[in-house]
Amino acid sequence: MRTVLVAGGCGFIGTNFVLHLLRTRPELRVVNLDKLTYAGNLENLAEVEGHPNYRFVKGDICDEALVDKLLGEGVDVLVNFAAETHVDRSIKDPAEFIRSNVVGVQTLLVCARKRNVRRFIQIGTDEVYGSLGPSGRFTEDSPLQPNNPYSASKAAGDLLVRAFHKTHGMDAVITRCTNNYGPFQFPEKAIPVFVSNAMQDRPIPVYGDGLHVRDWLYVEDHCRAIESAMERGRAGEVYNIGGGNELPNIELARLILRELKKPESLIQFVTDRPGHDRRYALDSAKIQKELNWRPRVTLAEGIPRTVRWYLEHQEWLGKLRSGDYLEYYRRHYHQTHGLKE
């Protein structure tokens, strides 16, 4: 049985990826290593807690002794989602971004090499390419021109992965994806902020003139793309993963308000994000051609599905907004596993 170590499996995409593997790949064992930062919510994975092929380990990817021990137990593939991910936070305080997104990646690489992990998958972002004007798309060969501390730290992580492949011949693949949306996204990112505020008739904060463009991909489609890179991606390659769903933020806000049958008067233009990238768009021809991956969920299906999920998970949202989710690990996990706090 192959073992996949998922780092950062309690965050938004990691949760969806762990659930995807456990639901569709009974032949895989999944170990989830997560530090449970403010963005990690163990309760997301409550339904698989007793699953025979699943194990959770609380820990930091920068903790070399722990990572070495875990990888020494036998890991075939390491998929690294663990990162600080919110651009606005990186502008206020970049230190943790450098630690987790750069030092963390280096620690994983050093230990993976020492313990002969067969394949290393680094989950990257389109933000490393910087900002586009009204036309064009980034390919895998576009230069890296990150514009904020988050994307700079992610670019550094990607370059370390590249270097370990070139220097040590490590079997490593980097994926770079556009903006994800769907279940379990932390309500500090645009879509869950827009949905949860509108649900409560609170203003929707749209940064600047609202004409910044993002390309949206339903999280399940991202998970399938990562799985294809994990299974069939070529070592040393980068794969762009785009949704083909470009939308200015103001249109996204209107779409969500229409879905919730709320008035457009809830839209409130607020001070812009410093260095706010104007447009992201990826050319995904390489992953489509080489790995036969295509997005399946259109925005017309994905937005109503996502809005419905948040409507049906208001308790989940409420806990995240109040900070109560942080109690879950302490109360529930420690009790059920008889661990010391």
DSSP letter (8 states) at residue 182: S
How many amino acids of this chain bind ligand NAD (CB under 6 A)? 30
With beta carbons less than 8 A apart as the criterion, state whether 11 and 296 touch.
Answer: no
**Partner from ligand NAD, ligand DAU, none binding residue 186, C-beta < 5-8 Å depending on class:** ligand NAD
Sign, Cα dihedral of 181, 153, 104, 99: negative
Q: Give first-to-last CA distance, the chain, whole Å.
A: 32
Question: What mask, x for binding ligand NAD by CB under 6 A, covers residues 72 to 91?
Answer: ---------xxxxx------
With beta carbons less than 8 A apart as the criterion, state whether 279 and 213 touch.
Answer: yes
Sign, Cα dihedral of 317, 44, 311, 87: positive
Our finding on whether 123 is near ligand NAD (CB under 6 A) is yes
**Partner from ligand DAU, ligand NAD, none binding residue 39, C-beta < 5-8 Å depending on class:** ligand NAD
Nearer to ligand NAD, 39 or 230 (CB): 39
Nearer to ligand DAU, 218 or 333 (CB): 218
With beta carbons less than 8 A apart as the criterion, state whether 188 and 150 touch.
Answer: no
For the segment 112-151, give every residue that binds ligand DAU (CB under 6 A): 125-127
Nearest to 80 by CA among 100, 53, 57, 51: 100
**Partner from ligand NAD, ligand DAU, none binding residue 280, C-beta < 5-8 Å depending on class:** ligand DAU
With beta carbons less than 8 A apart as the criterion, state whether 10 and 32 touch.
Answer: yes
Nearest to 202 by CA among 212, 193, 215: 193
Question: Among residues 35, 119, 165, 212, which is the contact residue for ligand DAU, using CB under 6 A?
Answer: 212
Angle at 72 between CA 71 and CA 73, to 5 degrees: 90
Question: Among residues 29, 97, 104, 106, which is the contact residue for ligand NAD, using CB under 6 A?
Answer: 104
In whole angstroms, the minimum distance from the beta carbon of 330 to ligand NAD comes to: 15
The rounded distance, in Å, linking the Cα atoms of 79 and 73 is 16
**Partner from ligand NAD, ligand DAU, none binding residue 16, C-beta < 5-8 Å depending on class:** none
**Partner from ligand DAU, ligand NAD, none binding residue 212, C-beta < 5-8 Å depending on class:** ligand DAU
**Binding residues vs ligand NAD (CB under 6 A):** 7-8, 10-14, 34-37, 39-40, 60-62, 81-85, 100, 104, 123, 125, 154, 177, 179-180, 186
**Binding residues vs ligand DAU (CB under 6 A):** 85-87, 125-127, 178-179, 189-190, 193, 205-207, 212, 214, 249, 273, 280
